[in-house]
Amino acid sequence: MDVVSPELNSLLPDEIMDTEAIEDVPQSQPESTTSQSEPSDDTSIPMETDTPMASENLGLCSDATSTEHTRALTTSTATDSPLSISPGSQLPISISSTSSPILTLKPTLATSTATTKTTDSVTGTSVTTSGLQKLTAPFTISAANHQIILNKVASSQATEAAKSAGTPPQVIKQEGQKLLVTAIGKSGQPIVLQLPHTGNKPGISQTAADTKSPAPQFKVVTIGGRSDLKPVVGSVGNQVTTLQAQQLKTVQVTLTELYVSSVFKQMNINVRLNIIATADVLLLAKTLHKPHNTSIQSLPGKKIAISPLKTPSKNIKPVQSVAVGGVGGSQFKTIIPLATQPNVQQIQVPGSRFHYVRLVTATTASSTGQPSGPSTSSIQTAKPMVVSTGAVRMSVPIVPPQTMKQVAPKPLTSAAQVVTTTQTQQRLIMPATPLPQIQPNFTNLPPGTVLAPAPGGGNVGYAVVPAQYVTQLQQSPFVTLASSSSFPASAGIQTQARLPLNGLSAAETTSRPRKPCNCTKSQCLKLYCDCFANGEFCNNCNCNNCFNNLEHETERLKAIKTCLDRNPEAFKPKIGKGKEGEADRRHSKGCNCKRSGCLKNYCECYEAKIMCSSICKCIGCKNFEESPERKTLMHLADAAEVRVQQQTAAKTKLSSQISDLLMRTTPVVSSGGGRLPYTFVTKEVLEATCECLLEQAKKAEQTHQPRAEAERMILEEFGHCLMRIISSAGKAKADCASINC
DNA sequence: GAGTTTGAAACT
DNA sequence: CAGTTTCAAACTC
């Protein structure tokens, strides 16, 4: 579910693409123009899903791994999905292509992930369906007109009509199923995917749910790279397909310059990235810019790779990129692009595991579940899209950018504005609009949440929202984001998002706020700056001439690019995460300490509380397991920590006892008496006082203080205790006096 | 708080 | 890739 601009793709660290949702497609044969359907062996890719439902996955994936340009788009639909690819059914799918390739649809039981890594050299596109059994279908693709036609025979007329009429979306009806794919890259040139009726297919098991769920059967998938994507028109619902209930259907498309837009009527879109969308339209796309390759390649046992369609242009317009949470455990960054164009903008954010995803939304006219009539592209209802990523389930308003202006203002509490999530470490992408109904509720945003108006004043704005934002969304479920020029980025709405740093979990990092930086010369746009290095915006820092904010997003993005050019892993955590605890944690590059003995915080290893390893180039290292210096240091640190804790506990106890005593003895205090009541010195107070004195004695002993000094420290502490008692008594007296008066 | 030390990042 | 410079954090006084 990632959309990454070609330029960005090359810059992104591997980890950014590191998602379980991404599926490495074996390098297909460049010369291959046809792909054979897979035998009956279920080699389909198992996909993770929240629900153990049988699912079907239809994926068009460009195959490329060298540059790791992900161009995969996956849309999974839950049961009732109009995409009626039934498990175990054979789906004849053909693509009208000059090369006449054949695609294979392979159903799998599990909900599939549709992300595929591609490279520039990739020339293949795969279409897979997951279900109970594999589906094989002829699949042809036409690069010339950017059309992919499934079930060519059945849809020939529709294809012809599309070509002649140039009408972008085309719906092919077949046995209660409609699947339409439109190539955005070349508007007016639809890619039609037609799915045959599966009810009569052998091996398909009819279920009661199937027969009673007359959900509209249509899917529209838009493929292309143009920003002028038109909303897919919902079509009249067709007859009920089999296995709709309790089944997930996944459409997976990966193509060059590929946008996939699917319009599902009354469908839950369940992506393997655990995206469950109740919105009518979920458009997830990832762009590829591998032009002019029309060969279709067979992916061994997995997918049939179809080479990316000829891209309309190498100059991909900026696109709105939306990162959608991936598989559980991954780090996700909420990226809300600041779109200057209606529909497209690319986002760049440093940090690991960022998902550069484009979420292009389209909606259907109704969310009621009723089959929509022949649709129109003007579906303007902003609807909440429930996205579930692992444990995350969030409701994100999905509003077609091109129709945002038509959305009627709604109260801030509108469901369409509700963004909720139940999992941390998820980064959400939420469309922002200038519309009043989705104006941000800043009071609900965590400190540092980044919201900024689109520089170009586009009708859709996005902001980069750190993972913590999502976390805090749990406490403030009603959050809205919007692009607006009415608020400055520096108005305390930027978040100190922290990526996994030094191997610490996000929870660890978030638990302690990052220290503010003090950069003076780097403009906070170099890795000297911890904020920048951690992929954060500066907030409440002491830096001068800071450019690490949305006000200087252009410079910031440029700096990010520079850093990534210099080191593609610049924003990755330096401390690898150990598999079995801290023992496996180690610095990715190792330190180079020369004078600190690696026992000071100058050393990145020591700072991360890990031992130096063989990859370190340090001189005179004392930061190893058996190092006596290190052990001594650790013991001292531990002892100090314990002392502090004990002292704190003792003082807290003393204060508590005094307070408790005050509560019990205050009435006794005479308002006019000049003598402090000795009743304050109770057994509890004495005990607490003694504990404080003992702690002082221990402290003096551990620090090897002379006897005189130790006595002084104890007496001093005793004085402090007495002062507290006296102060409390005096306060009680005053309070009592005031009450009596 | 000012000055020094340190090592990573940046630069050549 | 190595050497140098720059930089900001860590540290000391």
Q: Which residue has the higher pLDDT, A252 or A714?
A: A714
Tell me: do A594 and A726 sit in the same domain: no
Q: Report the protein residue whose CA lies nearest the C1' of nucleotide B8.
A: A528
Ramachandran angles phi, psi of A281, nearest 5°? -130, 130
Residue A620 CA to nucleotide C9 C1', Å?
21
Residues 688-707 of A with CB under 7 A from strand B: none
Which residues pair with residue A220 across a beta bridge? Answer: A180
A530 touches strand B (CB under 7 A): no
Q: Are residues A600 and A537 in the same domain?
A: no
CA of A562 to C1' of C4 (A): 21
Buried b (16+ CB within 10 A) or exposed e, A371-397: bbeebebebbbbbbbbbbbbbbbbbbb
Alpha helices in A125-253 (DSSP H): 152-165, 208-211
> Measured in angstroms, what separates residue A260's CA from nucleotide C13's C1'?
64
Residues of A 239-268 whose CB lies less than 7 Å from any atom of strand C: none
A10 CA to C2 C1' in angstroms comes to 28
CB atoms within 10 A of CB A621: 23
- Measure CA to C1' and name the residue nearest B6: A602
Measuring CA to CA, which residue among A287, A244, A282 is closest to residue A264? A282
A462-466, A595-599, A707-711, range with the lowest pLDDT? A462-466
Proximity of residue A518 CB to strand C below 7 A = yes
Task: Name A736's bridge partners.
Answer: none
Q: Are residues A672 and A525 in the same domain?
A: no
Q: Domain range spanning residue A204?
A: 22-315
pLDDT of residue A593 exceeding 80: yes
A489 CA, C6 C1': Å apart: 30
Q: Are A429 and A277 in contact (CB under 8 A)?
A: no
Residue A184: CB partners within 8 Å, gap ≥ 6? A222, A223, A224, A225, A226, A228, A229, A257, A259, A261
Contact A30, A294 (CB under 8 A): no
pLDDT at A736: 57
Q: What whole-number distance in Å separates Cα of residue A249 and Cα of residue A445? A: 35
Residue A193 pLDDT > 60:
no
- Interface residues 534-563 of A with strand B (CB < 7 Å): 562-563
In percent, how much of chain A has pLDDT > 90? 8
CA–CA distance, A547 with A538 (Å, rounded to integer): 8
Protein-contacted bases of chain C (C-beta within 7 A):
6-11
Q: Quick check: A603 pLDDT over 90?
A: yes
Q: A433-437, A544-548, A681-685, A696-700: lowest mean pLDDT where?
A: A433-437
Answer for A565: CB within 7 Å of strand B.
Answer: no
Is A15 among the domain residues? no
Which of A211, A221, A232, A210 is closest to A79 using CA atoms?
A210
Give the integer Cα–Cα distance in Å for A717 and A9: 62
Nucleotide nearest to A515 (CA to C1'): C9
- Compute CA A371 distance to the chain's CA centroid, rounded to the nearest angstrom: 32
Chain A 525-584 residues in 7 Å CB range of strand C: 526, 528-530
> Gap from A651 CA to B4 C1', in Å?
37
Residue A422 lies in a domain: no
Q: How far is the CA of A525 from the C1' of C9 (A)?
A: 16
| Residue at A390 is within a domain | no
Domain-located, residue A688: yes
A60 domain-assigned = yes
The answer to whether residues A71 and A142 belong to one domain is yes
**In-domain check, residue A462:** no
Q: Is A412 helix (H, G, I), strand (E, B) or coil?
A: coil
Q: Are strands A334-335 and A275-277 parallel, antiparallel or unpaired?
A: unpaired
Highest mean pLDDT: which range of A390-399, A660-669, A703-712? A703-712
Is the pLDDT at A444 greater than 60, yes or no?
no
User: Would you say the C-beta of A442 is within 7 Å of strand B?
Assistant: no
Domain-ending residue, one of A295, A315, A335: A315
Asked whether residue A527 falls in the same domain as residue A609, the answer is no
Asked if A385 and A398 touch (Cβ cutoff 8 Å), the reply is yes
Confidence band for A232, pLDDT divided at 50, 70 and 90: very low
- Is the same domain home to A225 and A94? yes
Q: Is the CB of A522 under 7 A from strand C?
A: yes
A517: the nucleotide nearest its CA (via C1') is C8
Going by C-alpha positions, the residue among A141, A137, A151, A146 that lies closest to residue A179 is A151
Same domain, A45 and A170: yes
pLDDT for position A703: 79
Residue numbers in A 130-169, CB below 7 Å of strand B: none
* Mean pLDDT for the stretch of residues A712-723: 85
The predicted-structure confidence for A299-356, as pLDDT tens digits, reads as follows: 333 333 222 223 333 333 333 333 333 333 333 333 333 333 334 343 434 333 333 3
**A284: part of which helix (H) or strand (E)?**
strand A281-286
Q: Is there a single domain that holds both residue A545 and residue A671?
A: no
Residue A584: partners with Cβ closer than 8 Å, 6 or more residues away = A576, A577, A578
- The rounded distance, in Å, linking the Cα atoms of A622 and A550 is 42
Interatomic distance A590 CA / B9 C1' (Å): 14
Is A11 among the domain residues? no
Residue numbers in A 580-639, CB below 7 Å of strand C: 600-602, 607
pLDDT of residue A201: 37
Higher pLDDT, A449 or A546: A546
The two tokens of residue A575 are: 């401390």
Is A684 strand, coil or helix?
A: helix
Query: In the prediction, which pLDDT does A572 show?
Result: 85
A117 and A95 in a common domain: yes
Name the nearest CA neighbour of A57 among A199, A260, A240, A202.
A260
Which of A457, A464, A453, A404 minimizes the C-alpha distance to A430? A464
Q: How far is the CA of A543 from the C1' of C9 (A)?
A: 13
Closest CA to A267 of A1, A114, A110, A79: A79
For residues A549 and A659, membership in a common domain is answered with no
SS3 A58: strand
Buried b (16+ CB within 10 A) or exposed e, A108-138: bbbbbbbbbbbbbbbbbbbbbbbbbbbbbbb
Work out the average pLDDT over A214-227: 38
Residues (597-616, chain A) with CB within 7 Å of strand B atoms = 597-598, 600, 602-604
For nucleotide C7, the protein residue with its alpha carbon nearest to C1' is A528
Q: Which of residues 128-147 of A touch strand C (CB under 7 A)?
A: none
Q: CA of A587 vs C1' of B10, distance in Å?
A: 20
pLDDT at A260: 36
Give the pLDDT confidence score for residue A654 in this predicted structure. 82
Pairing of strands A281-286, A334-335: unpaired
Residue A639's pLDDT band (cuts 50, 70, 90): confident
User: pLDDT value at position A274?
Assistant: 34
Q: Which nucleotide is nearest to A605 (CA to C1')?
A: B7
How far is Cα A121 from Cα A101, in angstroms, rounded to an integer? 18
Angle at A103 between CA A101 and CA A104, to 5 degrees: 150
List the structure tokens of A726: 């006296």
Here the tokens at position A43 are: 């080699």
The pLDDT value given to residue A720:
84
One-character DSSP codes across A458-495: -S-B--EE-HHHHHHHTT---------TTS-TTTT--B
Residue A440 has pLDDT above 80, yes or no: no
Using the structure, give the distance in angstroms from the CA atom of A592 to the C1' atom of C3, rounded to a whole number. 15
Which nt sits closest to A526, CA to C1'? B9
Model pLDDT, residue A678: 59
In this predicted structure, the answer to whether residue A181 has a pLDDT above a threshold of 60 is: no
* Nearest nt to the A594 alpha carbon by C1': B7
Nearest protein residue, CA measured to C1' of B11: A566
pLDDT grade for A648, boundaries at 50, 70 and 90: confident
**How many whole angstroms separate alpha carbon A177 and alpha carbon A84?**
6
Whether A601 contacts A635, CB under 8 Å: no
Radius of gyration of chain A (CA): 31
Q: Is the CB of A17 under 7 A from strand C?
A: no
pLDDT in tens, A94-119: 333 333 333 333 333 333 333 333 33
The CB density around residue A43, as the number of other CB atoms within 10 Å, is 16
Residue A129 CA distance to nucleotide B12 C1' (Å): 54
Whether residue A36 has pLDDT greater than 60: no
A620 CA to B7 C1' in angstroms comes to 14
**Whole-angstrom distance, CA of residue A499 vs CA of residue A507:** 10
Distance measured from the CA of protein residue A518 to the C1' of nucleotide B1, in angstroms: 15
What tokens were used for A301?
A: 């046992």
- Do A70 and A203 lie in one domain? The reply is yes
How distant is C1' of C12 from CA of A589, in Å? 29
Which residue has better confidence, A46 or A642?
A642
- CB contact set of A666 (below 8 Å; sequence gap of 6+): A732, A735, A736
In what helix (H) or strand (E) does residue A508 lie, and over which residues does it extend? helix A506-511
Asked whether residue A520 carries a pLDDT value surpassing 70, the answer given is yes
- Does some domain include residue A211? yes
What's chain A's average pLDDT? Answer: 51
C-alpha span between A191 and A184 (Å, rounded) = 9
End-to-end CA distance of chain A: 71
Highest mean pLDDT among A184-193, A321-330, A375-384, A714-723: A714-723
A664 and A600 within one domain = no
Q: How many structural domains is chain A composed of?
A: 4
Measure CA A51 to chain center: 20
User: What is residue A494's predicted lDDT score, i.e. its pLDDT?
Assistant: 41
Interatomic CA–C1' length for residue A515 and nucleotide C11, angstroms: 17
Domain boundary (A590, A625, A660) is at A625
pLDDT category at A93 given cuts 50, 70, 90 is very low
**Residue at token pair 């690819």:** A85
* Residue A253 contacts residue A283 (beta carbons within 8 Å): no
Q: Provide the CA A530 to C1' C8 distance, Å, integer.
A: 9
Angstrom distance, A600 CA to C3 C1': 25
Q: DSSP letters of A707-734? A: HHHHHHHHHHHHHHHHHHHHHHHHHHHH
Encoding tokens for residue A448? 């540092």
Nucleotide at minimal C1' distance from the A595 CA: B6
Higher pLDDT: A553 or A384? It is A553
Question: Which residue, A315, A347, A371, sits at the end of a domain?
Answer: A315
A15 CA to C4 C1' in angstroms comes to 32
Which nucleotides of strand B are protein-proximal, with an atom < 7 A from a CB?
5-11
Q: What pLDDT shows up at residue A626?
A: 87
pLDDT confidence band for A735 (50 / 70 / 90): low
Range 573-592, chain A: CB under 7 Å to any strand B atom? 574, 589, 591-592
pLDDT at residue A726 is higher than 60: yes
State the pLDDT confidence band at A598, using cuts at 50, 70 and 90: very high
**Alpha-carbon distances, residue A100 vs A32, A191, A192, A701 (angstroms):** 11, 15, 15, 86
Of all nucleotides, the one whose C1′ comes closest to residue A544's CA is C8
Q: What is the pLDDT of residue A646?
A: 80
